[in-house]
Amino acid sequence: MSCEHLVCAQCAGPVVEGRCPACRASRDRLHHHGLGGLSPMLVAIVLVVLLVFTLTLKHLYGA
Protein backbone atom coordinates (compact mmCIF):
# COMPACT_ATOMS: atom_id res chain seq x y z
CA MET A 1 0.00 0.00 0.00
CA SER A 2 1.18 3.52 -0.74
CA CYS A 3 0.40 6.79 0.98
CA GLU A 4 0.67 8.89 -2.19
CA HIS A 5 -3.10 9.33 -2.54
CA LEU A 6 -4.13 9.25 1.13
CA VAL A 7 -5.48 12.38 2.81
CA CYS A 8 -5.00 12.92 6.54
CA ALA A 9 -8.20 13.20 8.58
CA GLN A 10 -6.48 15.48 11.10
CA CYS A 11 -4.91 18.16 8.89
CA ALA A 12 -6.57 17.39 5.50
CA GLY A 13 -3.15 17.35 3.82
CA PRO A 14 -1.57 14.59 1.78
CA VAL A 15 -0.13 11.92 4.09
CA VAL A 16 2.99 11.67 1.93
CA GLU A 17 3.95 15.25 2.91
CA GLY A 18 3.81 14.47 6.65
CA ARG A 19 2.48 17.85 7.75
CA CYS A 20 1.29 16.74 11.20
CA PRO A 21 2.28 14.01 13.70
CA ALA A 22 -0.61 11.81 12.54
CA CYS A 23 0.58 12.04 8.90
CA ARG A 24 4.16 11.23 9.84
CA ALA A 25 3.09 8.24 11.96
CA SER A 26 0.88 6.86 9.18
CA ARG A 27 3.59 7.38 6.58
CA ASP A 28 6.17 5.61 8.77
CA ARG A 29 3.81 2.67 9.37
CA LEU A 30 3.15 2.29 5.65
CA HIS A 31 6.81 2.53 4.69
CA HIS A 32 8.41 0.29 7.28
CA HIS A 33 11.27 -1.80 5.95
CA GLY A 34 13.65 -4.37 7.24
CA LEU A 35 13.38 -7.05 9.86
CA GLY A 36 12.21 -5.99 13.31
CA GLY A 37 12.84 -2.34 12.51
CA LEU A 38 16.37 -2.96 11.28
CA SER A 39 17.45 -1.73 7.89
CA PRO A 40 17.83 -4.34 5.16
CA MET A 41 21.53 -3.46 4.80
CA LEU A 42 22.18 -4.09 8.49
CA VAL A 43 20.40 -7.45 8.31
CA ALA A 44 22.53 -8.43 5.29
CA ILE A 45 25.75 -7.41 7.06
CA VAL A 46 24.83 -9.43 10.15
CA LEU A 47 24.09 -12.48 7.99
CA VAL A 48 27.43 -12.18 6.17
CA VAL A 49 29.34 -11.82 9.44
CA LEU A 50 27.54 -14.87 10.84
CA LEU A 51 28.40 -16.87 7.71
CA VAL A 52 32.08 -15.91 7.91
CA PHE A 53 32.18 -16.75 11.61
CA THR A 54 30.56 -20.15 11.00
CA LEU A 55 32.95 -20.99 8.15
CA THR A 56 35.94 -19.95 10.28
CA LEU A 57 34.84 -22.20 13.14
CA LYS A 58 34.28 -25.08 10.74
CA HIS A 59 37.75 -24.62 9.28
CA LEU A 60 39.45 -24.37 12.69
CA TYR A 61 37.76 -27.35 14.31
CA GLY A 62 37.26 -29.48 11.18
CA ALA A 63 33.67 -30.23 12.01
Q: What is the pLDDT of residues 1-37, one digit of tens each?
A: 566 788 888 898 888 888 899 888 888 877 765 566 6
Domain chopping of the chain, boundaries: 1-32, 35-63
State the average pLDDT over residues 40-56.
Answer: 92
∠45-50-54 over CA atoms, to 5°?
150
| φ/ψ (deg, to 5) at 38 | -85, 150
Is the full-model pTM beyond 0.75?
A: no
Phi, psi of 7 (to 5 degrees): -115, 135
Residue 1 DSSP code: -
Residue 43 has pLDDT above 80, yes or no: yes
58 pLDDT more than 90:
yes
